[in-house]
Amino acid sequence: MFQPPFFPVSLNSLTSLLSLADSSRRFKQSIQPFSFTIALYLALNQAWNYKLMHSFISSLLLDVLRLSIWLGLLIIIFVPLERFSPQNKQKVFRQEFLIDVSYYFLNSLLPKLLLVLPLSIVAGVVHLLGPSGLYAGIASLSVGTRFFFAIVVGELGSYWGHRWMHEFPVLWQFHAIHHSAKEMDWLVNTRAHPIDIFFIRLCGLVPIYLLGLAQPTGQTIDVVPLLYVVFGTIWSFVIHANLSWRFGWMEKLISTPAFHHWHHTNDGPEYYDKNYAAIFPWVDQLFGTFYLPRNRWPGKYGIDQSIASDLTGQLLNPFIYPAKSSVSHPPASECRNDSKP
Ligand SMILES: [Zn+2]
Ligand SMILES: [Zn+2]
């Protein structure tokens, strides 16, 4: 079994401190209590650090294992479906497939860590300042009812988070990575800068917490925001998939591959900035950004803006904006056209 490294390191510290003290008897007498205290502090500190590090690495390895199993399941589900009913003929191992697999792991681990602090603050503020009668009433609703309202409220929040990603050039630099995919498939869902995922998810979750639809206790988070994130994530794989399925009138009620593929089109400025909703297309109808022709699909996907071809470059690029990048799709404010093309 792997042994913790803190013990030998602490012995070295203790030995060096004691040998230093040996140089003078008086000094030795005066320094010994301090040396022992310091050595004890170092040992405890490193033991604590080791425990933290050990539990961190253990949970990280478990997360990677869990995510690998999920990735295997996603491949088993989507690869055959996309082979049987493809909208576009393309390879499974398309361009930048491995980079998108890296995004899958990165975005499954990092955004949730980033969300802990802001959501804890929102939950704490709501708990302190919120009208207790209202929250008590909402808390008494069944999980199913709270989940239903959470999806609707979260969808409204994430719609605007997504739209702001398109409308503000600084935010677009993060979101451009998601739109840079030139071939659409289920895995494109994971292709996003972690800040992009963090921001849109935060915009969806904050109203859920503010309205009391999430009821976290001091120790555990509530199941409702968790269900919201899990359901939204699974559905997002579906709407990115390279599937030619059409669903008639239902396409106005729930998002489909055709609906979201039009969000990724690069057919021209008149088609940009449509279909921001992740689950409910009627939210786009409500705000005038819905576009879904009955039998047509986009001719091409992607953006004209150049994006780094490696993962590190893609992750760093938004932070050095605008020195090394330029906005070419959108800015939405310059090419907005809410009427149907
Ligand atoms: Zn977008
Ligand atoms: Zn997308």
Task: Give me ligand 1 centre to Cα 130, in Å.
Answer: 33
CA distance 190 to 163: 18
Residue 113: predicted pLDDT: 85
pLDDT tier for residue 116 given thresholds of 50, 70 and 90: confident
Task: Give me ligand 2 centre to Cα 229, in Å.
Answer: 16
- Indicate the Cα dihedral angle 307, 314, 276, 71, nearest 10°: 120
pLDDT tier for residue 333 given thresholds of 50, 70 and 90: very low
Residue type at position 47? A
Task: Give me ligand 2 centre to Cα 192, in Å.
Answer: 9
- Indicate the Cα dihedral angle 160, 164, 167, 168, nearest 10°: 160
Counting other chains too, the contacts that 246-250 makes at CB distance below 8 Å and 24 or more residues apart are: 246/295
Task: Give me ligand 1 centre to Cα 297, in Å.
Answer: 17
What residues contact residue 247 under an 8 Å CB cut-off, 6+ apart?
254, 256
Task: Give me ligand 2 centre to Cα 298, in Å.
Answer: 14
Give the number of other CB atoms < 10 A from CB of residue 286. Answer: 13
Task: Give me ligand 1 centre to Cα 276, in Å.
Answer: 6
189-208 mean pLDDT: 94
CA distance 96 to 308: 11
CA neighbor of 299 nearest in space, from 86, 88, 90: 88
CA 110 to chain centre: 7
Residue 192: predicted pLDDT: 96
Q: Which residue has the higher pLDDT, 243 or 317?
A: 243
Residue type at position 204? G
Residue 112: predicted pLDDT: 80
Two structure tokens written together for 88: 């576009």
Task: Give me ligand 1 centre to Cα 166, in Å.
Answer: 6
Q: Which residue has the higher pLDDT, 9 or 123?
A: 123
Task: Give me ligand 2 centre to Cα 240, in Å.
Answer: 6
pLDDT tier for residue 335 given thresholds of 50, 70 and 90: very low
Helix or strand (DSSP H, E) at 164:
helix 143-167
Residue 191: predicted pLDDT: 96
Task: Give me ligand 2 centre to Cα 196, in Å.
Answer: 11
pLDDT of 151 above 80: yes
pLDDT tier for residue 216 given thresholds of 50, 70 and 90: low
Look at the chain and count its residues: 341
Residue 129: predicted pLDDT: 73
CA distance 248 to 267: 23
Two structure tokens written together for 137: 């009433």
Top-confidence range, 8-17, 120-129, 199-208: 199-208
pLDDT tier for residue 139 given thresholds of 50, 70 and 90: confident
CA 324 to chain centre: 25
Task: Give me ligand 1 centre to Cα 19, in Å.
Answer: 64
Ligand in nearest proximity to the CA of 303? 1
Task: Give me ligand 2 centre to Cα 202, in Å.
Answer: 17
Ligand in nearest proximity to the CA of 273? 1
Whether 41 and 33 have beta carbons less than 8 Å apart is answered as no
Task: Give me ligand 2 centre to Cα 189, in Å.
Answer: 6
Q: Which residue has the higher pLDDT, 34 or 194?
A: 194
Q: Which residue has the higher pLDDT, 326 or 233?
A: 233
Whether 230 and 255 have beta carbons less than 8 Å apart is answered as no
Domain chopping of the chain, boundaries: 1-74, 85-335
pLDDT of 225 above 90: no
Task: Give me ligand 1 centre to Cα 175, in Å.
Answer: 7
pLDDT of 302 above 60: yes
Residue 220: predicted pLDDT: 61
CA neighbor of 167 nearest in space, from 338, 336, 341: 336
19-33 mean pLDDT: 49
* Phi, psi (deg, nearest 5) at residue 265: -65, 150
Two structure tokens written together for 11: 């012995």
46-66 mean pLDDT: 78
CA distance 8 to 63: 31
Whether 286 and 155 have beta carbons less than 8 Å apart is answered as no
Task: Give me ligand 1 centre to Cα 36, in Å.
Answer: 60
Ligand in nearest proximity to the CA of 192? 2
Give the number of other CB atoms < 10 A from CB of residue 48. Answer: 11
What residues contact residue 144 under an 8 Å CB cut-off, 6+ apart?
none
Ligand in nearest proximity to the CA of 240? 2
Beta bridge partners of 265: 301
Task: Give me ligand 1 centre to Cα 133, in Å.
Answer: 38
pLDDT of 321 above 80: no
